[in-house]
Amino acid sequence: MKRFPKSQAARAVALVLGAWCAFPALGQDQPVVPSHPGNRRLVPLPAATAQGVPMTLSQAVGIAVANNQDQYVTVNAAESFEYLIVQNKGIYDPLISAAVGRSHAEVPAASQLTGGVFDDTSFSASASQFTPLGGTFTLGFNGLREKTNNPFSTVNPSYAGGLQLSMSQPLLRNFGTLPSNWLIRIAHNSRDSAYQALLRTVQGTVNAVEQAYWDLVYAGQNLEVKRESLRIAQELNRITKIKIDVGSLAPIDITQTEVGIATAEQDIIISEGAIGDAQDRLKRLLNFVDPAQVNVPIIPMDRLSTEQVKIQLDEGTQTALRRRPEVLQIAYTAASDLLRYQYYRNQTLPGLNLTGAYGNRGLAGFSSDDLLTNLMFYWAPNSVASSAAMYFESRHDPEGRNHPMPQVPVGVANFPHEITGTSRRWAETKYRVVHWTDMPRGGHFAALFATRQQQDTQGGGGNGEVHRAHWGDAYSVLGDKAG
C-alpha cells in the first residue's frame, strides 16, 4: 500500500502556523500554537494606544489561530480517533475469564446403583491471546468438587481438575496480518485524515485573516485617497470661484465643482464605512478575549509591497499534490478503501483452520472413612509421639552422620509425588540398598493411596519388615532380613 505522511507531519504543520511561513521577510519570531486539546490558551490583543491597537499581520494571524474556536472542534475530532485506535488494538489484549458454579440435585433412585443427593461446586478459568497472524492460544483450567450420599461412590467427596492448552490458526480465510489489523490501519488513516482537516482549518483561518487584514489596509489607504480627492475638489472649487469673479468662467461652472465636492464627500463616507466593515471582519476572526476591546480600532502596521515571484509550474504542482491537505485526505480515504477491499476479498476464501489441544485431567478424593482409619493407626496404639520422632531426628541430623549405615538389606519404593525427591546413588551411601523400585504413582501418603503397589513391592522380598531411614520423611523404605 502506498504510504502517505503520518500524523506527526500533520501535527507539525498544524503547530507551526502557515502564515509565518508565508511571510519570512517580516523578520519576526514565529510563534507556535499547540494543537492538542487542553494545551491551547487564548491570546489577548497587544496593548492599545490612544489611536487604537497597533497590529502586524503576523500578530493578527497568531491571535486568530490561537483563539479560533472552530479549531477546537477539529482538534477534538482528530484526537477522538486515538481512542478508536486503542479500541481496535484491544484485540491483542489477553482475554481472561473465570466462572464459579454451584448446583444441588436430589435424584430419585431408579435402581440400586443410581439416585442420591449431589452437591457440585465447579470452577473454571481461561486466558486467551490473539496473534497477529489470526491465531488464538488458550490456556484453561477447570475443577469440580462433588459430594454425594450415593453408597456406590467410591471417592466421596471427589475432586476433579483439568488443564488444557489449545490453539487455532486460520490457514486461508482470516490468515495473515491484514485480517487482524485492517481496522487498526483504517483507524490510523482516519486519524491522519482528521489532522489534515485540522490543517485545512488552520490554512482557512490564515487565508481569511490575511484577506481581512489587507482589506483593512486597502480601506485605510483608500480613505486617504478619497480625502485627497476631496481636497483637490475643494481646491478646484476655490479656483473656479476666482475665475467666475474675474469673469473668465460663467457662474454655471461652479455647479460642476460643487458636484465634485459632494461626490468626494460621498466617497469618504463610503470609505469610512468600508473601514468599519473591514475592522469588523478582522475582529470576528481574532475572537477577542476581552469584550471591552471590541470597539477599539485596529491599526495595521504592515504595508502591502509587491515583488515578482517566479513559480515553476511542474515543481509547484508536484509540491501541491504532496502537501495539500485535501489531496492527502483523499489519499487516506483511498488507502482505507483499499484495505476494506483486500479484507472482504480475503473473506471469500474457504475456511480452513489448524487446531490443536493438549490437556490432562485428574481425580482425587479423601473420604471420612479414610481419615478415621488413618487417625486410628496413630490413636489406638498410642504412637502419635513415636511416629514424629523420625521428623525430629531428620531435622537435627539431616545427613545421618550420627547413625552408622545399617547392615540390614534395604528395598526402596520411590514414589513420584513425594514432598522431596532423592537419587539412588545418594541412598546407597546411607543404606545397603539391594532393591529399588520407581513407583508409577503415589506420594507422601503412599501406604494410603497406593496400597496395592506397596504390597507388590513387599512381596518381592522375605518377611516384609519395614525399615525407615533417617534422611527425611520423603521415602518408604522396605527391609528384608532374609536378603
Which tens digits make up the pLDDT trace of 390-419? 777 777 776 666 667 778 888 888 888 777
Give 76's contacts (C-beta < 8 A, 6+ positions apart).
37
Question: Over the stretch 241-285, which tens digit does the pLDDT of each residue have?
Answer: 998 888 888 888 899 999 999 999 999 999 999 999 999 999 888
Radius of gyration of the chain (CA): 48
pLDDT (0 to 100) of residue 10: 43
**Which of 157-161, 336-340, 398-402, 456-460 has the least mean pLDDT?**
456-460
Q: Residue written as cell 491571535?
A: 63
- The candidate with the shortest Cα–Cα distance to 427, out of 415, 418, 414, 439, is 414
pLDDT (0 to 100) of residue 54: 92
**Which of 173-177, 228-232, 304-308 has the least mean pLDDT?**
304-308
The predicted model gives 438-449 an average pLDDT of 74
Cα separations in angstroms, 378 against 292, 372, 382, 472: 98, 10, 6, 19
CA dihedral for 237, 238, 244, 247, sign (positive or negative): negative
d(CA 197, CA 14): 10
The predicted model gives 322-334 an average pLDDT of 91
What burial class does residue 187 get, using C-beta atoms within 10 Å of its C-beta: 0-12 exposed, 13-18 middle, 19+ buried?
buried
Banded model confidence at residue 477, pLDDT cuts 50, 70, 90? very low
pLDDT (0 to 100) of residue 332: 94
Tell whether the model's pLDDT for residue 36 goes beyond 50.
yes
| All cell numbers assigned to 53 | 491597537
**Which of 153-157, 199-203, 206-210, 268-272 has the least mean pLDDT?**
153-157
* Residues 413 and 439 sit within 8 Å (Cβ to Cβ): yes
Tell me 335's DSSP state. H
d(CA 258, CA 239): 12
| All cell numbers assigned to 274 | 468600508
Report long-range pairs for 14-20 (Cβ below 8 Å, ≥24 apart). 14/195, 14/198, 14/199, 14/202, 17/61, 17/62, 17/65, 17/202, 17/206, 18/202, 18/203, 18/206, 19/57, 19/58, 19/61, 19/62, 19/65, 19/206, 19/209, 19/210, 20/58, 20/61
Largest CA distance in the chain: 168
**Which of 71-75, 162-166, 234-238, 313-317 has the least mean pLDDT?**
71-75
Instruction: List residues bridging with 437 in a β-sheet.
Output: 413
Q: What percent of the chain has pLDDT over 90?
A: 38
* Residues 275 and 223 sit within 8 Å (Cβ to Cβ): yes
pLDDT (0 to 100) of residue 112: 65
**Which of 18-22, 33-37, 331-335 has the least mean pLDDT?**
18-22
pLDDT (0 to 100) of residue 450: 58
Edge-to-edge strands of the sheet including 116-130? 95-107, 116-130, 136-148, 158-170, 353-365
d(CA 335, CA 329): 10
Looking at per-residue pLDDT, the higher value among 4 and 409 belongs to 409
- CA angle centred on 441, ends 439 and 444, rounded to 5°: 90
Compute the 3-state secondary structure of the chain and give helix, strand, coil in percent, each to the nearest 5: 50, 20, 30
Report which residue type is found at 51.
Q
Neighbours of 16 (CB within 10 A): 15
Look over the chain and give the mean of its residue pLDDT values, rounded to a whole number. 80
User: DSSP readout, 338-398?
Assistant: HHHHHHHHHTTSPP-EEEEEEEEEEEEE--HHHHHHHHHHHHTTT-HHHHTHHHHHHHH-T
Q: Walk me through the domains of the chain, giving residue ranges and CATH numbers.
A: 7-83+182-345 (1.20.1600.10), 92-178 (2.20.200), 368-479 (no CATH)
* Residues 467 and 406 sit within 8 Å (Cβ to Cβ): yes
3-state secondary structure of 483: coil
| All cell numbers assigned to 482 | 532374609
Tell whether the model's pLDDT for residue 164 goes beyond 70.
yes
- The candidate with the shortest Cα–Cα distance to 140, out of 192, 99, 108, 180, is 99
d(CA 443, CA 157): 20
H/E run at residue 124: strand 116-130
The predicted model gives 81-99 an average pLDDT of 93
Q: What percent of the chain has pLDDT over 70?
A: 81
d(CA 367, CA 147): 10
The predicted model gives 194-209 an average pLDDT of 89
Banded model confidence at residue 63, pLDDT cuts 50, 70, 90? confident
Looking at per-residue pLDDT, the higher value among 92 and 45 belongs to 92
Question: Over the stretch 294-325, which tens digit does the pLDDT of each residue have?
Answer: 788 899 998 877 778 788 888 888 888 888 89
The predicted model gives 165-187 an average pLDDT of 95
Tell whether the model's pLDDT for residue 180 goes beyond 50.
yes
Report which residue type is found at 472.
G
> What values do phi and psi take at 12, rounded to 5?
-60, -40
Global pTM value: 0.62
pLDDT (0 to 100) of residue 479: 36
Give 235's contacts (C-beta < 8 A, 6+ positions apart).
none
Tell me 133's DSSP state. T
Give 433's contacts (C-beta < 8 A, 6+ positions apart).
410, 411, 412, 424, 427
